[in-house]
Structure 1
Amino acid sequence: MLLRLSLDLPRDAATVAMARRALDGALAGVGVEDDCRTDIQLALTEACGNVVVHAVAAADYTVDVTVNDDQCTIEVSDRGDGFVLPRSQMPDSSATSGRGLHIVAALVDHLDVVSTAGTCTRLRFTKRLTWTAPSRPTRPKELD
């Protein structure tokens, strides 16, 4: 199975929920388990929310999703000013921001962040999918 979804969205807070609902509907439609979809929804919300809040030089952003066999890969990218990657430590409890990338990393299997000062930021993360028992896609034997 191969599923691709690409969204070009204005940098507006309302688009975060739109992206989350579109992806959740697609994943539910192919039979991804609720708990797995919840993790993906939260990771996507944090990634898109970071663009809306921090990429002030960007007018829009892109969400590209690929579901291939048992893995979902999501790339959220913008053409904002970029940023310096934070230290790997979680901010202290009094901090009002800085937790988004840590939350994404905790929810997914792999996270890459590429940020180039003055040009763009790209978050790419992957999550192994779990399926509802009767919905799990299978490959025809002739393809194995």
Structure 2
Amino acid sequence: MSIWWSLHLRREAASVPLARRLLLGTMESAGVDPDISYDLSVALTEACANAVEHGGDTGHGGSSEAFRVTAYLDGEKCRIEVADSGPGFTGRPSPRPSHSEAEHGRGLYLIRELADHVQIGNKPGRGGAVVSFDKILKWRNDAPLVAV
């Protein structure tokens, strides 16, 4: 079984729950275990929130108002990628939040905790950040789309 979709979303807060609901609906329809679906939806929410908050263009016009979310469910793994058109990451993102009471800086840490494999970097060429992560899927007993 293989499913993939890609969204081009406006860089505004209302886009975040839209992406999350689409992912949860896809997982539910495919028969993914709800705990796995929840973990991936929280990680996606954090990645999208980062794109909305930090993914603004630095004056190149037009494309700064959008970000892209792509999800792949392929066999036993789900891979999600969130890419924006902002300035990208300057330096290496910290593996831990600055402190537990911090208002910011916990999103990438949460993604690392919830996913099995995480890649954080910049798009080659014209810039922008890319956060991609994947997780091994578990299936409900009544899953309609399980690979055999």
TM-score (norm 2): 0.88
Ranges in structure 1 where 5+ consecutive residues have no aligned partner: 140-144
Q: Which amino acid aligns with 1:55?
A: G
**Which residue does the alignment assign to 2:38?**
38
Q: Give secondary structure in 2 for the equivalent of 1:21.
A: helix
Partner in structure 2 of residue 109 of structure 1 = 116
Identity of aligned residues (%): 35
Structure 2 counterpart of 1:120, which letter? G
* Structure 1 runs, 4 residues or longer, greater than 3 Å off: none
Structure 2 counterpart of 1:20: 20
User: Could you say which residue in structure 1 is the equivalent of 2:86?
Assistant: 80
AA paired with 2:35?
D
Give distance in 2, aligned partners of 1:137 and 1:86. 36
Question: 1:37 Cα shift?
Answer: 0.6
Contact 2:55 2:67 in 1 (8 A): no
Q: Tell me how far apart the structure 2 counterparts of residues 125 and 3 of structure 1 sit (CA, whole Å).
A: 16
Paired residues of 1:32 and 1:130 also in contact (CA < 8 A): yes
Pairwise mapping of residues 63-74 of structure 1 onto structure 2 (< 5 A)?
63-74=69-80
Any idea what the Cα deviations from partners look like across 1:59-101, whole Å, max 9, x if unmatched? 1000011100110000100111112232223211342211110
Q: CA deviation at 1:115?
A: 2.2
Q: Does the CA-based 8 Å contact 1:39-1:107 persist in structure 2?
A: yes
Q: How many residues align?
A: 139
Q: CA deviation at 1:133?
A: 1.0
Q: State the Cα RMSD in Å.
A: 1.6
Per the TM alignment, residue 116 of structure 1 is displaced from its structure 2 partner at its CA by: 5.6
Unpaired runs of 5+ residues, structure 2, are 58-63
Query: Tell me, what secondary structure is at the counterpart of 2:67?
Result: strand
Rounded Cα–Cα distance in structure 2 between residues aligned with 1:89 and 1:26: 30
Per the normalisation by structure 1, the TM-score is 0.90
- The separation in 2 between residues aligned to 1:101 and 1:50, in whole angstroms, is 9
SS of 1:67's partner is strand
